[in-house]
Chain A
Amino acid sequence: MAKTKRLLSGNEALALGAYHAGVMVAAAYPGTPSTEILEAMAKFDDIYAEWSTNEKVAMELGMGAAYAGVRALVSLKQVGLNVASDPFMSAAITGVNAGMVVISADDPGIHSTQSEQDNRHYAKFAKVPMLEPSDSQEAYDFMTYAFDISEEFDTPVLLRTTTRISHSKSVVEVNRSRAMNARQSGFRHDLEKYVMLPVYARLRAPLMEDRLVKLAAYAESFPLNTILWGGRRLGVVTSGVAYQYAREVFPDASFLKLGMTYPLPRNLLRQFASEVDRMIAVEELTPFLQENIRALGMEVTGKEFIPSVGELNQRIIEEGGFRAGLLPEPSARREEDIVPELPGRPPTLCSGCPHTGIFFVLSTMGQRSKLLDSDGKAQKELKLIITGDIGCYTLATYPPLLAMDTTACMGASIGQALGMEKAGVASKVIAVIGDSTFLHSGITGVVDGVYNKAGITIIILDNSTTAMTGHQDHPGTGISAQGKKTRAVELEPLVRGIGVEDVKVVDAFNVKALRAAVRSSIDSPEMSVIIVRGDCPVHVRKQSEPMAVDAEKCDRCGTCLKIGCPAIQKEGEVVHIDTNLCVGDACTICQQLCPDRAIALLSSLAGGKPK
């Protein structure tokens, strides 16, 4: 086919590469920075792509497809692989039949995750091969290798990317088209391979060791492990985006660029080490390469002078190179480089967000408003604990709402609330969780609560989308990843079916109703569920007229500022509403709260066209 050059993100390139490699089934749960991979796969109408309920199901789906003889792609963010690690480990022991590639999109620097973890260790842990592209071209090219390796060695392949690879765009020469030899599905019954009873698993465990030995031999001549000779005084072993940074920082060095970072090519490393005066490893996060190279009996440094925490960049590596005696002192931070004290701009709940009302209500209950005083003494008086979860609503942690006490991982709000209650805290415990997160991993917590006679309240924030990651559909929306109408899983009968008797559904934009619902749940000793329902204004754009502040009626009490709406702004003493941001009559929360009735639709304010 004709070669074309395109500017693609790493994620788009991974998807196109997988498609051209003949993938028939793709599954994922949305999670930054991996989301766009499945979004791109879903656009190909001659394959099957789905948003799975969660990553564990996605992984199991991939296993099933590969067992059944077609190539499968599973894409997840770093913590998604934690969720899916059980089936991942199982796929590693059973092997796959048709190719199965698992993309782990890690997040060094914690741009949008709850932790910083180096998923390269999963490859070693599961004894499976791992590839690491360093730009979009490689993301595209490596996919073909990944599937071929998967089938040749009968193993899932971990393809590890990072935020910087996934979300950067670079030029890709698209030089293939979809493989026409995509296999027909067909499952071959093989109890010893697919049924991991101990008696069969014991037979397969040694095969994993043999596989690693063969993979290590393969890695020696693997074309994506390459030596780029430069000066022989310094040899840099590197992979992923760190390679790009290192090329700029050490322009005169020799490079051993590893496309396959597990298992490592011992002989190639030996050859490289023997021909350079000093070998260093430049890698993000943990000393994965460094430790594994040392385990092969070679001396290499790296983490002695390059940080093990956070994302790298040229400057950080340059400073490390200086500390290691490899580079002259970088031009010290000049006085003008000192970052001025400026107001921060953290992400906020959007104007018109359906989460704003409920969190405002929660922030005013159980004396939580004392948190605003920010003195430690006040905290002792709080009579309400709010366990939180993963989603846009986690932003309600910030001032002025301060309406969240914990956030850990998907679904944890409910289990944590149960634990606090069972521990005997005097305060009422409320778990807050979004609809997509609830379906991902909140349901089992409800089952636990019903079974173990809990008295917690669970608030499900139902905006009918997975908003945080860019509005993906989920089992509750009634639309599939490929845009087809399907049956929606309904939350109300679901929680009732589990056995919760006190279930209320409340309009997200009705403050009075929200307050009444929370109050009645707090006062009740029974376990209760409140479903707060309202559309995400960024997802469902409605024609609406903005609100405005009547300057004559406004006595500047500041109540409207306490909801944290970005459209409500104060300059000097004057509060005004940014008409470009306000969603107006689709929300009206500020209007409901204003004690002076000074907020009204822009058109209704006589002559007073506010700023």
Chain B
Amino acid sequence: MVGVGGQGIILASDILGEAALAAGYDVKKTDTLGMAQRGGSVVSHMRIAEKVWSPLIKEGEADIVLAFEKLEAARWGRYLRPGGVAIINHHAMPPLSVSLGTHCYPDDEEIRDMLKRRTERIYFVEGARKAIELGDIRVLNMVMLGCTSLLLPINVRTWKECMSQRIPSKILKVNFTAFDLGRKEASDVNLR
């Protein structure tokens, strides 16, 4: 799970891990946060199996790369195994170096080409748009989680139980809606 600091990736991966544990799996997850609260590149490795040793995923072995931001999808695409699935929030957050004019932000085709070295299974989803439609960009993480849920052997009830344990009750409903919208979006783009 990759993106930009502040996008709620850690909470999303916590909920994913807890849901996988509740579904009976061994789970290890590890977050690479860098040094800042916000704005840096964030990567969360998540491993789910009968038995997990290392918390880190080896490059070229990830089944899924869930990208909350397009540039980060390109940056971390090399972690995908051949034929793995890239789910990408169709949303750009240009880093400072782009605004300062020292670097260029790649366009969608360039990003697609980079990922194509690994897989044909590349799905852009309207995560940010859906979250903004729900009135709060911060539910983006649950939209993205909803997308991924379609590929994981965890039932919706378990997902929602785990969400309700981690999300304050007054904003739980909108997060549930975000999750459902994400799941539907994934199904609309024929993710599975």
Chain A interface (Cβ < 8 Å from any Cβ of B): 5, 7, 32, 111-112, 135, 164, 167-171, 241, 244-245, 247-248, 313-315, 335-337, 339-340, 342-350, 392, 395, 398-400, 467-468, 470, 538, 561, 564, 566, 568-571, 575, 578, 580
B31 to A313, Cβ gap below 8 A? no
Of the 9-residue stretches B98-106, B148-156, B172-180, B182-190, which lies at the interface with chain A? B98-106
Measured CB to CB, the nearest residue on chain A to B45 is: A168
**How far, in angstroms, from A7 to B13 measured CA to CA in the complex?**
12
A347 cross-chain contacts in B, Cβ below 8 A? 5, 34-40
**How far, in angstroms, from A569 to B103 measured CA to CA in the complex?**
13
Q: Does B12 reach chain A (CB closer than 8 Å)? A: no
- 14 further A-B contacts with Cβ under 8 Å, apart from A169-B55, A314-B54, A343-B103, are A7-B14, A164-B55, A168-B30, A170-B29, A247-B54, A315-B58, A337-B78, A342-B71, A345-B4, A345-B39, A398-B96, A468-B36, A566-B39, A566-B95
- Given the known inter-chain contacts A32-B35, A343-B104, A570-B101, please indicate yes or no for A244 contacting B53, CB distance below 8 A: yes
Measured CB to CB, the nearest residue on chain B to A471 is: B37
A399 cross-chain contacts in B, Cβ below 8 A? 96-97, 100, 102
Most buried by A among B54, B58, B71, B72: B54
Q: Does B11 reach chain A (CB closer than 8 Å)? A: no
A315 to B95, Cβ gap below 8 A? no
- Least CB distance from A400 to B in Å reads 6
- Least CB distance from A527 to B in Å reads 31
**How far, in angstroms, from A244 to B75 measured CA to CA in the complex?**
26
A400 to B33, Cβ gap below 8 A? no
**How far, in angstroms, from A337 to B79 measured CA to CA in the complex?**
9
Measured CB to CB, the nearest residue on chain A to B75 is: A342
- Least CB distance from A538 to B in Å reads 6
B38 cross-chain contacts in A, Cβ below 8 A? 347-348, 350, 538, 566
Interface residues of B in 52-89 (CB under 8 A from A): 52-56, 58-60, 71-72, 74-75, 78
**How far, in angstroms, from A602 to B169 measured CA to CA in the complex?**
31
Most buried by B among A7, A111, A112: A7
**How far, in angstroms, from A337 to B117 measured CA to CA in the complex?**
8
Q: Does B114 reach chain A (CB closer than 8 Å)? A: yes
Measured CB to CB, the nearest residue on chain B to A331 is: B60
A248 cross-chain contacts in B, Cβ below 8 A? 53-54
A245 cross-chain contacts in B, Cβ below 8 A? 53-54, 56
B30 to A7, Cβ gap below 8 A? no
* B37 interface neighbour in A247, A342, A470, A578, Cβ under 8 Å: A470
- Least CB distance from B74 to A in Å reads 6
B104 cross-chain contacts in A, Cβ below 8 A? 343
B34 to A7, Cβ gap below 8 A? no
B34 to A169, Cβ gap below 8 A? no
Chain B interface (Cβ < 8 Å from any Cβ of A): 4-5, 14, 17-18, 21, 26-41, 52-56, 58-60, 71-72, 74-75, 78, 93-106, 114, 117-118, 137
- Given the known inter-chain contacts A164-B56, A314-B54, A337-B60, please indicate yes or no for A467 contacting B106, CB distance below 8 A: no
A345 to B28, Cβ gap below 8 A? no
B26 to A7, Cβ gap below 8 A? no
B27 cross-chain contacts in A, Cβ below 8 A? 7, 169-171
**How far, in angstroms, from A167 to B31 measured CA to CA in the complex?**
7
A468 to B54, Cβ gap below 8 A? no
* B40 interface neighbour in A168, A339, A343, A345, Cβ under 8 Å: A345
Measured CB to CB, the nearest residue on chain B to A467 is: B37
B99 to A568, Cβ gap below 8 A? yes
A313 to B37, Cβ gap below 8 A? no
- Least CB distance from A560 to B in Å reads 10
B34 cross-chain contacts in A, Cβ below 8 A? 111-112, 346-347
Measured CB to CB, the nearest residue on chain A to B115 is: A336
B40 to A348, Cβ gap below 8 A? yes
- Given the known inter-chain contacts A7-B21, A7-B27, A168-B30, please indicate yes or no for A538 contacting B75, CB distance below 8 A: no
Most buried by B among A244, A339, A345: A345
Measured CB to CB, the nearest residue on chain B to A314 is: B58
**How far, in angstroms, from A527 to B184 measured CA to CA in the complex?**
64
* B98 interface neighbour in A5, A337, A343, A395, Cβ under 8 Å: A343
- Given the known inter-chain contacts A170-B27, A538-B38, please indicate yes or no for A561 contacting B52, CB distance below 8 A: no
A561 to B99, Cβ gap below 8 A? yes
- Least CB distance from A362 to B in Å reads 18
* B26 interface neighbour in A171, A343, A569, Cβ under 8 Å: A171
User: What 3 pairs between A and B have smallest CB-CB spacing?
Assistant: A347-B36, A336-B117, A343-B103
B59 cross-chain contacts in A, Cβ below 8 A? 315, 337
A343 to B114, Cβ gap below 8 A? no
B17 to A7, Cβ gap below 8 A? yes
- Least CB distance from A467 to B in Å reads 7
9 of the cross-chain contacts (CB-CB < 8 Å) are A7-B27, A168-B28, A170-B29, A241-B54, A336-B117, A347-B37, A399-B96, A400-B100, A570-B94
A7 to B54, Cβ gap below 8 A? no
- Least CB distance from B129 to A in Å reads 13
A350 to B28, Cβ gap below 8 A? no
B71 cross-chain contacts in A, Cβ below 8 A? 342-343, 345
B54 to A167, Cβ gap below 8 A? no
**How far, in angstroms, from A575 to B99 measured CA to CA in the complex?**
8
Most buried by A among B56, B96, B102: B96
B41 cross-chain contacts in A, Cβ below 8 A? 344-345
